[in-house]
Structure 1
């Protein structure tokens, strides 16, 4: 009996692995504003839903790293849902405190930018299958705002 149950589990597992899953990519990370204690950026994530029904996004977790250090992390609860058979843009606000930027002065240096890695996990709920996390990682260079960008 246990062999039959194991075969059934393996069959279901194989079928679930063959099912098309949503795909995501970071399309852009832009400066949005300066506050009294931090600089805020907005990561734009493009998510393609292959299913004919909308899928709710339960949460988005992010980790923003520079010089192999985590400089910001957070969670965006329930940012919306993915459109059926379409691509949806999901906005992930990232807040970087000034005190951490000062500790990265060596990286910022002469070119006034930060080499960063943004790791995201989109937790979505698929009917029948349950919750799955779409992991993604994006490496790039981010320009820090200058006085002219702050006051325009």
Structure 2
């Protein structure tokens, strides 16, 4: 699992509710103003919106003066969906930063298909793979090096 290097969601957030903390892109839900710009900017669709009804607005607040809102079309994107009286709060994976044992999905994956890696691990694995590929694919480079030397 890996979070964005540049995090376009953090760039567009007007209230800086999305920050990079220890390599993870974290969202402070209490700062979210429900503008949904982060969800639009995220190239991976990693940000969802979860409704939160303020305590002072009852769920059945429909009156003669405030009839119920018409239902949204069946296939509307969550970025366009809107329910009166409900604040759509951005929610995204925070790698369970509150849990010392790490992400719950990694711990509970029945096939161990998920791993938490940091950028150093990725760089080391990439370097090892390049070295193995170089050694395996090219084998003895003496002929290649001689040809290169003749061209100079």
Report the TM-score when normalising by structure 1: 0.21
Structure with the largest fraction of strand: 1
Task: Tell me which structure has the larger Cα radius of gyration.
Answer: 2
Report the TM-score when normalising by structure 2: 0.21
